[in-house]
Amino acid sequence: MLNALSKAFFLTLAANRPLKRLASRYGLRKPTSFARRFIAGETTADAVAAARAVQAAGLFISLDLLGESVVTLDEADAATRGCVALIRDVVDAGIERNVSLKLTQLGLDVDHATAVDNLRKVLAVADRHDFFIRIDMEGSPYTQETLDIWETLWGLGHRRLGVVLQSALRRSEADAQRVIERGGRIRLVKGAYKEPKTIAYQTKADVDEAFVRIMRLLLKDADYPAIATHDPAMIAATKARAAELGLAPDRFEFQMLYGVRRDLQAALAAEGYRVRVYIPFGREWFPYFMRRLAERPANVAFVVKSLLRER
């Protein structure tokens, strides 16, 4: 019960626009700020520095310029230009060319056609430089629209474009089959959004069972799936499934969040598995950070300890 209340509390904070604006103004002023454990910083230079450190440790990267739920066309245009600039900065920096983004960041809440057009602008530059772009999955109101947009652009020839599915949603097993049939690449996560019981599993056990079912399907049939989890039980189940199928370590990858279970990231890499670290950065960091706190009580404990140390 306490964990459920904690999750609901932090998810409510994540959606609070005044707090988001205040956090953005305050910023990540000190490198020792507790939020810096999970967020690389505010600038592209911060992200590039973090990416280089991660790659030096033998891990792979995906950069995410944070920003979501924009409410005007001007904001959507600015976010699109920011994503394009990020792609060019990554090319100049010589780091791995892998970026994640959200459709609400590109204006999906404002106008569907504009969001699609903005994504095509990003892909036009990304494809020229051999980037892989992953469309992050947001809350359930966006699930169908996100998959439809992915499928439309996939059909237009953007084949270095992936999508994310959440095992917490009851529909995701069928969605996984749909994407597999079209040849797309899937990142499987548990899900960080509060969803109604009519469409989502409510207990960890049920979410985990769905995760394992979908993971088993992906390892068998999907093109280079990404299994995104910090849960040792889910990782063990993935290893067992890969061994059962005789799947080489370069046929799939684990993905983890920047600053979370760095020991586990290193251990998996040492065992020969591919591990990709999702590196978020930017001024719009507050909603992302609140969802990370909602996911795991251990994250909250880390924040409290950090605050006490700083005081």
Active site residues: 136, 187
198-222 burial: b if 16+ Cβ within 10 Å, else e: eebbeeeeebbebbbebbbbbbeeb
- Residue type (1 letter), 44: T
Query: What's the Cα-to-Cα distance from 278 to each of 107, 111, 204, 257, rounded to whole Å?
Result: 22, 28, 23, 5
Roughly how many angstroms between the first and final C-alpha of the chain, as a whole number? 30
Q: Which residues contact 302 (CB under 8 A, 6 or more apart)?
A: 34, 37
